Structure 1
Amino acid sequence: MVPRFPSLSVEKEFAQATGRADANGLTDREALRTVLTDRANRYLARQLAWVFTVEGQETYLLVPRDPADFELLIESVRPTPRATDIDVIIGVRGPLAPPEYANGLVLPFGLVDQIFSFDVDALISSLPRPEDRSPEQFGSAAEDLFARLVQIADNAGATDEHRALNFLAVRYPRIYHQMAEAFTRNFALASVRVRPSRLSGVRRISDVVFTWRHRETDVEESFFVRVDHTEEFPFLVTGLSPYLERL
């Protein structure tokens, strides 16, 4: 999340607020958070253009549907950003912003209903761990799978495929259990595929197929999860089950 000044006047106003704050010795990022978390400066949070980046690329301009949710945007500003920081945005893609909205930056609006900010370690520690797996075993397996899911090409959450994967990555612990179990049997994750479900009709439903391959024999095992992503909030239709290719 990168707050951006939409105009010179907002930038100057922010500089004055920073001068009034106790920002001595702080980094720019720490000073930014200090100013924005002061409720007397909440008007500045509403003036900023909130740029959401995906893999370092500016992707959306976020606008909370409820003004009270500017608090969530402010909380997403980490004093010390790290590569493992994650922001999950739930909302609706809107039209392109006019050039004057973000000082010439033209991106689609993201109309925000929910924001979850955490890091990878916090996500993994929140997952229920199988009793037969040590914290180290399960943690490394879960982190490996999460990295694979979020790095699938250009995941901006704009397609059915991406929305299904994003939902599973943060809302379905069972796939992490399966990953840990596969590692103990010397299987490696070979692929993750998303395809329209045969149940799709009035509703948009995808089958997410995970395939693991044995490191010595090349024998493959596939499991799938069925996700409904018709509306803003995806949900599980079918839990993780063995998958058989249909001829």
Structure 2
Amino acid sequence: MSSSPQDSSHNLDQTSTNLIKSTPENVVVQRETLSSETAVTDEEMPLTPSPIYVAGKLRVEFANKGLEKECEAAAQELSVVSDKSVAPHDYGTIFGYEAGKESNESAYLSRKTRPYRYLAENAKWILSVDEQDTYVIEPHSVVELNEFINFLKQNEKHCNNQNLCVIIGEQFGYTDSGNEEASILPKVRCKHMFSFNSDDQAVKEKLTGAGINTTSKAISDLLRLLNVKQNRGNTNSERAKNFLAFRYPDIYAIRTSEVSEKSSERTTLSQPEHEFLRRIDTRIAQSAPEHTLVDVIFHYQRSVSGRQFSYYATVDVSQLFPYLHSPLSDYIPHNQ
């Protein structure tokens, strides 16, 4: 196995035009023990920030009825101004509305140009993973807030249920989720967010445009075995797998090999054999001090001969933003 560090990673969201230390495992919070009458603050429940790299569905919750009514009023006003129906749950449209676009006059205050921005600033941003509320996401700055709003706007425009919100940030405590059940969820401060269209065909089109030979089945198998739609992105192995899924398109490439067949008369080449992904393993690799490396191992089986082969890539997950330590290479188990 090669261990020479090199970063040959690509951004999967930019292969066409614009194609992240784990949560302490001994920190367990029983949600049912935290009642809605208990205010949980960072001071009361200290927790060393731990990196998160997770994909899920992003939605908005308002903490009280007043904000809900404010949003309903904004939807009614926008429906009149834009001469088209705007629903109260069209949060991307409402939060991102810019009044200055209707005239040539430039407003001198941002609140003037974005009159409903205060709703976004007071909203609770909930990320659900595998249909379960998992984190309350807090934008680190106005940049991340804009990314949240744009994500919602795109989903409203294209009605894409396969579009995942990928969050890179730090968990640093727990907070009220803002929904009616007033459940307590881990709080994550988002340092970067991007979207990933997990539709097999959409991924295939982007990869094909970047010169990577793949199939919809290969993409589907990888996303399923990497478990990107179910994991919480708070362990070293999960962060490593999610990084490869979203930032390293080489793992999706179809690998074929010509097989020599010897006969008494001559040596010929059979048709190419395709490799089918059987499983994915992870392990902590040897690393230098201050670094945590994770090997992600892809086990394949060839369609005709049945022979099994493995490849691996190593991801450095020492910091908030993971990176590729060594690219996809042949993997030979120590016992062989």
Q: After TM superposition, is the score higher than 0.5? A: yes
The whole-number CA distance in structure 2 between the counterparts of 1:20 and 1:117 is 29
Among candidates 153, 163, 168, match of residue 85 of structure 1 = 163
1:60 aligns with 2:135: yes
The CA RMSD measured in Å over matched residues stands at 2.4
Instruction: Give structure 2 stretches of 5+ with no counterpart.
Output: 1-57, 98-113, 258-271
Conservation of the 8 A alpha-carbon contact between 1:222 and 1:242: yes
Is the partner of 1:112 in helix, strand or coil? strand
Conservation of the 8 A alpha-carbon contact between 2:61 and 2:178: no
The whole-number CA distance in structure 1 between the counterparts of 2:177 and 2:142 is 21
The whole-number CA distance in structure 2 between the counterparts of 1:123 and 1:109 is 30
Conservation of the 8 A alpha-carbon contact between 1:182 and 1:188: no
Is the partner of 1:21 in helix, strand or coil? helix
1:116 aligns with 2:194: yes
Aligned to 1:14: 71
Can you list the C-alpha shifts for 1:21-71, whole angstroms capped at 9, x where unaligned?
117545554x33321111211110011100011111111111111133211
Aligned to 2:329: 241
Please report how far the alpha carbon of residue 227 of structure 1 lies from its aligned counterpart in structure 2 after TM superposition.
0.6
Aligned to 1:48: 123
The whole-number CA distance in structure 1 between the counterparts of 2:308 and 2:235 is 28
Is the partner of 1:33 in helix, strand or coil? helix
Can you list the C-alpha shifts for 1:109-144, whole angstroms capped at 9, x where unaligned?
1111111124235544333224xx4xxxx2425522
Aligned to 1:168: 244
Instruction: Give structure 1 stretches of 5+ with no counterpart.
Output: none
1:181 aligns with 2:240: no
The TM-score, its normalising length taken from structure 2, stands at 0.64
1:34 aligns with 2:93: yes
Conservation of the 8 A alpha-carbon contact between 1:141 and 1:176: no
- Relative distance call for 1:72 and 1:155 in structure 2 (3 A) is same
The whole-number CA distance in structure 2 between the counterparts of 1:17 and 1:124 is 39
The whole-number CA distance in structure 2 between the counterparts of 1:101 and 1:203 is 37
The whole-number CA distance in structure 2 between the counterparts of 1:49 and 1:163 is 24
The whole-number CA distance in structure 2 between the counterparts of 1:100 and 1:92 is 17
The TM-score, its normalising length taken from structure 1, stands at 0.86
For 1:64, the aligned partner's letter is P
Conservation of the 8 A alpha-carbon contact between 2:61 and 2:126: yes
1:155 aligns with 2:243: no
Is the partner of 1:186 in helix, strand or coil? strand
Total equivalences in the alignment: 237
Please report how far the alpha carbon of residue 147 of structure 1 lies from its aligned counterpart in structure 2 after TM superposition.
2.3
The whole-number CA distance in structure 2 between the counterparts of 1:13 and 1:174 is 47
Is the partner of 1:75 in helix, strand or coil? helix
- Is the helix fraction higher in 1 or 2? 1
1:195 aligns with 2:280: no
- Relative distance call for 1:200 and 1:213 in structure 2 (3 A) is farther
